Chain A
Amino acid sequence: MRYAETGYNLEIDLSRGNIERVETDPGLTELHLGGLGTNTKILWDRVPPETEAFAPENLLIFSTGILCGTPAPGANRTIVSTFSPQTLLMAYSMMGGFWAPELKHAGYDKVIIRGQAPNLVYLWINNDQVEIRDASHLHGKGAVETQELIRQELNEPNAQVAAIGLAGENRVYYASIEQGRSSASRGGIGAVMGSKGLKAIAVRGTKDVNIARPAEFMELCNEVLKYIKFREENPIPGVIPILAVLGSPQEMKVHDEAWHTQNFMWGNARTRKKDFWTEEIEKQWTETMESMRTRLISCYNCPLKCGATITVPGQSTYMMKCFSKLTYTMAAMSDLDFGLKIAQRATEYGVDGYSTPQVMAFALELYEAGILTDQDLPGMPSDNEGRFYWLLDRIVRREGIGDALANGTYWAARQIGKGAEAYDHNTIKKHEQLPLKLSMLNPIYFLMYSTGEKMNITQIEGQFPQAPFPKREQREEFVKEWFQVPDEKFKQYFLDWEPRGEFSNPYYPTIEATCEIVDWQERMHYIDDATGVCAGLSSFHLKPPYHIHNLPALISAATGMDIDQAGLTQIAKRNRTLLRAVNIRRGLKRADEKPPANHWKKRFPELETKLLDEYYKFKGWNNQGIPTKESLQALEMSYVSEDLEQRGIIKNEQS
C-alpha cells in the first residue's frame, strides 16, 4: 500500500481523447517527494526545451502535495506547473481551496494534461470514472459562473471545480485558473489551459487516504494546531499586522492597511503616498469592506481565514483573497470600493490580480506620455475608473490595443515600441512584480528577487524578518522563542542586524550570512511546494507552525519513509536544482537575474556581483548560475548534467 500518496497519476491526452490511470514510481517519491518536485521531474523528462507554451506537446500538470488529503492542517495546495507564455520559463503557480484533497480522495496524485482538444471541453473526474465532456456551451462564461454551471449539470454539489474564464480561453498571458475561493494566477497557466481547449476540471472523490504511522502522525498534527492557536492569541510584536499573525496573509480580516498603502507604490508602481492612511480613510474602507464582505472563509482543513465572500450590490458574488484586495485600488489610484467592484469582473474573466492592474496602469502611463494615442484607444472613457474597466474588457478579448496588452508589460512594451520599453520598469524575467520601490539595498532581498524562479517574492521570503528591529531588546525578545531556525547562528545574524551603522544594510548581514538566510527561506518554500502545505502556515511566515524540525517527522509518519532533517533538506535542494536546470535548458541566463533597476535607490554594483557570485557557489552552481556536474551528481541527477553537456550548456572539462 502507498501512504499519503495514492500512487497513481491520471494521464489525459486531449488531442486523442485518451484517458489513462498510470501507477507512479515510488522511487520518485523518495527523491522528489511530490507536488512541485515531481512536477518538475516530469517536465524535465517529457517536455523538450524548444516546446512553446501553447504547443500541444506542452504539459499542464495539476498536482497534489504529498500531505494533501491527510489531516495535516492546511495541506491543501494544488500545484499547477507548465511552461509560461510570458516568461518562457517554467510557470509555477498554486492554489489553496479544496481541489487537491478532493483529487487525492478520487485516487490520484496528479492530472497530467497534454494535447489540444478540437473543441472546448471539460474534464469530469468522479473517482474511477473519468470523462472528457463537451464544454461548447461554456464558451465565454465566467470562471466562477462556470464552476456553478458544471456542478449543476453534474448534479454534484460536492464536486470541486477549477475553471478558466474568458481570459484563459483567449490566451491572455496572465490568465488565471479559478477554484472556489482560490486561484492559480501567476505565469499565465490559465492561458495554457485555454490553449489546450480545456475549460475546467471537476473532481469528486470518496476514497481513503492512508497514513503509515497514525498515532505518531496525529500527535504531530495536534501540535501544529495547538501552535496555530497560540500564534492566533499571541501576535508577533514589532511587525506589520499581516506579518504578526499567520495566514496567507489574512488580508480580508485586517482593516489596517497603513503599511500597504503607504509603502507600496500606486499607479504603475510609481507613486508613494506616505501620508495616505488617515482616520477618515480607515473608517471609509472599513465600512466598504464590512458592507460587502459576507463571511471570512478558509481553505480545506485550515482554521485561518484568508479569504472572504464579497457581494457587491447588483453584481454576482465572488470570493477574494490576499492582496488582490488592493492591487486594483492602488493601480487606479482609487479606493477600496472600486477595487472590490472591478475585482468581481476580473475574477469572472480569470486574470491575475497582481499583473492585470499593473498592465492597465502601464497602458495609461503610455497614454499620458503620448506613446499610445486616442487612435490606439478608440472609445476609451474619460474617467479614470471607467478606463480600467474599458481596458480590462479589451485585454480579455484581445481587442485592439488589448491584444498587445494581453501579453503583459514586457511584451506589450516591445510590441508598442516608440519608447514604451522604459515604462516596463517593474518586471523581473518578463513578469510583473509587487509595486515596491525602496531606498537602501537589502542584500537578502537582492538575492531573493534576483534568483527566485517562482517569480514572486512571496514565494521565496518568509522565515527571516524583512528588516532589522530598531532596538536590541526587541530583537532579543524576538529570538527568545524562535525554535524554527535550522541553526542557532540565524539568531545571532538577526540580533546583530541594525537599522543603521556598521551592522546594517547593505553590508550586513555579511555575504556568507545572506546566502544562508536566503537559502533557508527558499528551502522552506520548496518543502511546502512538495508537501502541499500552505505557505501561510509555513514558509511565508515568521515563526510558523511547520518548520524544519517537525516537517521531517510529519512526512515520515504520513508516508512511512524515514526522512530526517538532512534528508528533507537534500530533497528540497534536489527539487530546487532541477527546477533551475529546467529553466537553464530553456535559456535562463545570469543576466536575467536582477531586480528592477529602480527597486532600490541606493545600489552597490560591486557588492551585488559578489553576492550573486557567492550565492551561486553556495547553491552548487557555476558562475553563470548553472548547476555544476558535481552538485548534480551529489543530488543523484547525473542525467541532468549529461543532458546539459550534450547541449553544450555545460562544458565537459568543467569537472
Chain B
Amino acid sequence: MNKVKKKVKVIKIDVDKCNGCRACEVICSSFHATPKYSSSNPARSRIRLIRDPLKDIYLPVYAGEHAAAECMGRDKYVVNGKEYDECAFCRASCPSRDVFKEPDSGLPLKCDMCEDEKEPLCVQWCLAEALTYEEREEEAEEEVQLGDMEIGLKSLVDKYGLQQLVDTVARLANKERGHTSD
C-alpha cells in the first residue's frame, strides 16, 4: 500500500473534567440532523456518555467502526478502584448493544470528526474542557474512507449477505419506479 501524509484529528478526553452534562451528545445529534440543527436527539449522537453517577463513572466514548459480530468474550476494566461495565470503553456499534445505532433503523453511527468544521462540535460545546482537540500530521497507509451511506450498507451486507441486499434494493427500486410512473 501507498504511504501518504495524513492529518490526524485527535480528541483528548479528560474524564476527570467531565461533569456529565451530555452537551456533547446534544450538539452532535443536532449537527448531524438533516437539515443541519433541525432536530436534536442524544440517542443519535456519535459520542455517548457512559454515566453512572453513584459510582462516579463518567466516560465519553466516540463511535468507531461498525462490528458485524460481537466479541467472543467480555472485558471488565477496573481503573482507580472503579469497575467499568463490559464494553464500556469500546467504540464499536455492534450487535451486543444498542449504542451507536440510529434508534429507528438500527443502522450504525460513526463519529466523522464533524468533517469540515474547524473544531468538532462536541469539543466546542464542552465548556468543561473534558474534550479538547488537536491535529497532527502522520504517515499512514492509504485507505478507503467510507461515507455514512457506505457504512450503513456495509452493515446491512454483514447482516443479510450481499446477494439478499442487492435483491432487496432491486425490488425496492422497481416498486419506486412503478409508483412514479403511475
Contact = CB atoms under 8 A, between A and B. Distances in A.
Interface of A: 69-71, 73, 98, 105, 144, 148, 157, 180-181, 205-211, 214-215, 217-218, 225, 228-229, 232, 294-303, 305, 309, 316-319
Contact of B41 (A180, A207, A317): A207
Contacts, number: 94
B21 A206 contact: no
A303 B127 contact: yes
Contact of A301 (B23, B33, B43, B56): B23
Interface-central residue, B35, B36, B40, B128, by most chain A CB under 10 Å: B40
B38 A105 contact: no
Nearest to B56: A294
B100 interface: no
B53 A309 contact: yes
Contact of B21 (A217, A232, A301, A318): A301
A225 B103 CA distance: 28
Contact of B43 (A105, A225, A294, A319): A105
Nearest to A311: B56
B154 interface: no
B38 A71 contact: no
A319 B51 CA distance: 14
B52 interface: yes
Interface in B21-56: 21-23, 26-27, 30, 33, 35-44, 52-56
B125 interface: yes
A225 B23 CA distance: 11
Contacts of B54: 144, 148, 309, 316-318
Contacts of A205: 43
A225 B125 contact: yes
B62 interface: no
A225 B26 CA distance: 14
B127 A71 contact: no
A301 B56 CA distance: 18
Contacts of A303: 19, 21, 23, 127-128
Nearest to A219: B37
B38 A214 contact: yes
A410 to B, nearest CB: 35
A205 B41 CA distance: 9
A298 B19 contact: yes
A209 B39 contact: yes
A35 to B, nearest CB: 18
Contacts of B53: 180-181, 297, 309, 319
Given A295-B19, A295-B58, A297-B20, A208 B27 contact: no
Contacts of A214: 30, 33, 35-38
22 contacts: A71-B27, A71-B40, A144-B54, A148-B54, A206-B43, A206-B44, A206-B103, A209-B39, A209-B41, A211-B30, A211-B38, A211-B39, A214-B38, A218-B30, A218-B37, A228-B127, A302-B23, A303-B21, A303-B127, A309-B56, A316-B54, A319-B53
Contact of A300 (B22, B35, B37): B22
Which 7 residue pairs across A and B have the least CB separation, nearest first?
A206-B43, A214-B37, A303-B127, A206-B103, A208-B39, A298-B21, A298-B19
